[in-house]
Structures are given as structure tokens and as C-alpha cells.
Amino acid sequence: MNFLDELKKVCGKNLLTKKEDLYVYAYDTSLNPEKIILPLCVVFPKNSKEISEIVKIANKYNLTLIPRAQGTNHCGATRPSENCIVMHFSKMNKIIEINKENLTAIVEPNVVIGELNKELDKLNLFFPPDPSNLAVSTVGGAVALNAGGPRTFKYGNTKDYVINLEVVLADGTIIETAKNIAKNATGYNLTNLFVGSEGTLGIISKITLKLIPKPQASFVTLAYFDKLETCLNCVNNIISSGFMPSTIDLMDNQTLKTIENFNPCNLLTDMEAGLLIELDGFEKCIQEEMMILKEILEKSGSKKYIQAKTKEENENIWRARRSAFSAATQLKPNVITEDIVVPRNKIIDFVNKIRELSKKYDIQVLIMGHVGDGNIHPHFLLDLENKREKMRHEKLRNELYAYAISINGVLSGEHGIGNTKKKFLPDAIDKNALDLMKKIKNLLDEKNILNTGKTI
């Protein structure tokens, strides 16, 4: 018997080996790799027992395993490595339980976040992390990347909503990291070790999430400024005023223009910046907070603002913001989305640096991001077939990362490290901490078979 015969015994028909099928799994949302590597096959396990059997086969034949959900990550976290099996979780997409009393949900990894929230909505419950592509991306992908999104300012990242995981380790052992319980200080926090581990420490087969009651209402304000600096100063004025918006998101002039060209929705494209502020909670409180916000915006120099009064107006503003990435892809063949976080009091310096480097290297950029958290997502537009442009972009990226690190920033707040930022990790974190991470990886995956070539 060879490895394929053994896999067939476990997976039956849930196995792909045809070249034309394998090509689909050679890519993810990150840019095309220099070298296209096809997996040896793709498997679709139905439960943790099958995952465990597959892991044992990979061990026996010295093959690597690439866990993959929808492949929408921006960091090459699901790119195949040599001699790999891609493990796709599309057969594990059930919501197992929603428990209103305990405020928990137990789900399989491939449950799509938007679908989960539709079910939670019916019970007035809420899972706040929103990787801005929630119609597609999965809970498993969000857990493995510790994804965030526009609401992290108030609600935190995915890690704040994971209370227990079932994980298949690299030798096939199945563990539960904790219990399905809201509060737990019993032993090491293994749950958080696996959250954000990008499939490199274990394969997540079941997830217990903490839920919160759904806010009664939410309203969005879109404020415009004729100077980017005025807009960024306004962020601090909002935060220091004592209330807690769920979202404070920035769109610079290029972003506003690009969205408006792609999807006309009456954005003011002659303004240098727009700030999307969402307030949520009890409707009466929001009405009051909207009045205070209005005053802050006027005092801070906002030239015009729109406060949504209906669900439709809310949706329109959100639709515009969510279409930014798709809009950017209309302008150039390649869009590189960065995910840098800087201390809030350095945002202006960082944004100025992005503009300076964009000019210096002649690479167009759209600047947007979750500025409430200091999380900036510049979208660089280029054509990677153009070798000179590619080289200019590489230089730009090196300088941008070095600058971010010099002001105590980090290279990812929510998209992860994957394969595309791995080489920068030694410059970005404490050396002793990196050594410890390597030891943890070695301990949990001695043969380095799990998502080989990513993160560590």
C-alpha cells in the first residue's frame, strides 16, 4: 500500500488527486508565490477521528499537512509546501450547539462567520469578530489567525471569544484545551496557545465560542475632513471623550475615490479623509452619544458628516467600506494589503511615512484601517510582472517594516505572519521569545509536518 491507498481507506471519495483539481489549492488570497507548488492530494475529513488517521499517515510517509479553510488569508498561510497534503474542512461545517443560557456556541471549524451570526441573530446573540469578508471566511480560519476586523476597538480579537478547542496534535492525539465554561483558571491557557498559531501547532477540529448579547441597535456616522491630520487628531478626541464606539475606521482620499468609482454610493471624493464611526448598544444611549459625537466632530474640524438614521443608510456605508479591497483590485493587477499596528499616538507619523515611501518608490497606495486600534491597512497597488516595480515595492516594504518596528509597532494585528512575513519575524519580536516559540513548535510538532514553512 502507498500513502494514497491508505488515505482512500480513511477518506473514501473525499480525496482529490487530479492535477487540474490540485491547482486550485496552490493559491490563496496572498499574491502568487514565485514558485507554484501543487499538493500531492487534497483530503476532506469529516471528523476529528479522520483527521487523526490522516495525520498518522502523513507521519508514516514523511508528508506535510496544510490545513485550509477558505484560503482568504493575506499572508500565504495556506500555500502548499513540498510533498504536502492539503486538508480542507468543507465537510466540517456544522453548528453543533448554540446555548443561550451559557452564552456559548460549539461549531466545527468550517462554519462561515456570517452564517453563524445569522443563526445567533435569531436568538439575539452575537459573535463580534468580523474579518470584513464574513460572507466567506470561517470560524476555524479566524481562530487560527486570531482575526479581528473593524469592531476590535470595543470587542477585541477572536482570542477573546474562544473558550475551548478540540485539537488534533501532530502525532494524531486528540486533546481538549479547556472546558466549555465561561471562566477557567485551571492549568495553563492552552486554548490561547492554539489561537493565532496558523495551523502550525495542531489541527482545530471543534471550537467552543463565548457569545455576547446582541447590541439592541447600531448606528454609523461617516465624517469627512479636508486634512488627513485633522481626521487622525479627531480619533483621539473621540476616544478621550469617554464613550466607546465599536468601530473607528479610516479611509483616505484615494480609498474614497476608488470605492466611489467602483461602486457609486455618494462618498465625498474631494475630501482628504473619511472616518467611519459605529456606535452600538441601547438605542436611547446611542441617540445621546450621537449628539456628543456630533459636537466632537464639529470641534475637531469635520467638514461634513452623515449620521445614518435607518438600517439601509447604515448598510450603505458599511457596504462602501467593505468593498474597498475589491475596488482596489480594479486599479492594478496586484494589491498587497499590509496589517501594521502602531501605538495610537504614532498613527500620524506612520501614515506620513506611508505617503513618503509611496512617493519615493512611485507605488500607488490606498490608506485605510482600524485606526481606533492603531491598525493601519495600506493597500499597495502594483504589477508584479513589472520587475522594476516589484523591486521598488520590496524596498518600500523593508523600509516600512523597519520604521514600524522602530516606533514599537508590530507587523500584524490580525492577518497573521504566514509565509509572506516570516523572514521579518526575527526583527519584529524579542529574540528570547522567538527561541521559546521555536521550542514550543519543536515540542508539539517534532517532525515539522504541520503547515510547514509558515510563521516560525
Ligand X SMILES: Cc1cc2nc3c(=O)[nH]c(=O)nc-3n(C[C@H](O)[C@H](O)[C@H](O)COP(=O)(O)OP(=O)(O)OC[C@H]3O[C@@H](n4cnc5c(N)ncnc54)[C@H](O)[C@@H]3O)c2cc1C
User: Does residue 100 sit in helix, strand or coil?
Assistant: coil
As a whole number of angstroms, the distance between CA 144 and CA 45 comes to 18
Least distance to ligand X from the beta carbon of 447, Å?
17
Position 76 contacts ligand X (CB under 6 A): no
| Positions in 101-120 near ligand X (CB under 6 A) | 109
Amino acid letter, 318: W
Evaluate whether 109 touches 69 at the Cβ level (below 8 Å): yes
Q: How far is the CB of 42 from ligand X (least distance, A)?
A: 13
Report the C-alpha gap between 254 and 81 in whole angstroms. 37
Give the start-end residues of each E strand in 61-194. 64-68, 84-88, 95-99, 104-107, 125-126, 162-168, 174-176
Is 278 a binding residue for ligand X by CB under 6 A? The answer is no
Count residues binding ligand X (CB under 6 A).
35
**Considering beta carbons, is residue 151 or 289 the nearer one to ligand X?**
151
Q: CA 356: distance to chain centroid?
A: 27
| 369 binding ligand X? (CB under 6 A) | no
For ligand X, which stretch binds (CB under 6 A), given 98-106, 132-140, 256-264, 286-294? 132-140
145 near ligand X, rule: CB under 6 A: yes
Site of grid cell 441597535: 217
81 binds ligand X per the rule CB under 6 A: no
Q: Taking CB under 6 A as the rule, does residue 71 contact ligand X?
A: yes
Yes or no: say if 234 and 275 are a contact pair by the CB < 8 Å rule: yes
Question: Taking CB under 6 A as the rule, does residue 89 contact ligand X?
Answer: yes
Name which of residues 199 to 228 contact ligand X (CB under 6 A): 199, 203-204
- How far, in Å, CA of 133 to CA of 323, rounded? 10
Q: Are strands 95-99 and 84-88 parallel, antiparallel or unpaired?
A: unpaired
- Which lies closer to ligand X via its Cβ, residue 141 or residue 245? 141
Measure the CA angle with vertex 199, ends 371 and 403; round to 5°.
35
For the CA atoms of 164, 179, 441, 425, the dihedral, rounded to the nearest 10 degrees, stands at 40
Q: Kindly state the smallest distance separating residue 70's Cβ from ligand X, in Å.
A: 3
Residue 138 engages ligand X in binding (rule: CB under 6 A): yes
Determine the interface stretch with ligand X among 63-71, 217-225, 236-244, 257-265 (rule: CB under 6 A).
Answer: 63-71
Our finding on whether 144 is near ligand X (CB under 6 A) is yes
Q: C-alpha grid cell for residue 225?
A: 475632513
Task: Check residue 29 for interaction with ligand X (CB under 6 A).
Answer: yes
* Per-residue H/E/C for 2-24: CHHHHHHHHHCCCEECCHHHHHH
Stretch that binds ligand X, among 38-46, 135-143, 236-244, 257-265 (CB under 6 A): 135-143
- The backbone torsions φ and ψ at residue 324, rounded to the nearest 5 degrees and listed phi first, read -60, -45
Residue 67 near ligand X by CB under 6 A: yes
The residue within the footprint of ligand X, chosen from 131, 215, 409, 453 (CB under 6 A), is: 131
Secondary structure (3-state) at 221:
strand
Our finding on whether 147 is near ligand X (CB under 6 A) is yes
Cβ neighbours of residue 152 under 8 Å, at least 6 residues apart? 129, 370, 372, 373, 375, 413, 414
Q: How far is the CB of 93 from ligand X (least distance, A)?
A: 11
Q: How far is the CB of 227 from ligand X (least distance, A)?
A: 25
412 interacts with ligand X by CB under 6 A: no
Which uninterrupted H or E stretch holds 431?
A: helix 431-444
Compare residues 77 and 232 and give the one whose CB is closer to ligand X: 77
Single residue of 31, 142, 335, 340 touching ligand X by CB under 6 A = 142
Interface with ligand X, residue 417, by CB under 6 A:
no
- Asked if residue 146 lies in contact with residue 195, where contact means CB atoms within 8 angstroms, the answer is yes
Q: Does 373 bind ligand X (CB under 6 A)?
A: no
Helices (H), 323-418: 324-328, 347-360, 387-406
Q: Which residue reads 509546501 in cell numbers?
A: 81
Q: Is 334 in the site for ligand X (CB under 6 A)?
A: no
Candidate residues 44, 64, 68, 412; the one interacting with ligand X per rule CB under 6 A = 68
Q: Which residues bind ligand X (CB under 6 A)?
A: 28-29, 67-74, 77-78, 89, 109, 131-133, 137-138, 140-142, 144-145, 147-149, 198-199, 203-204, 325, 414-415, 451
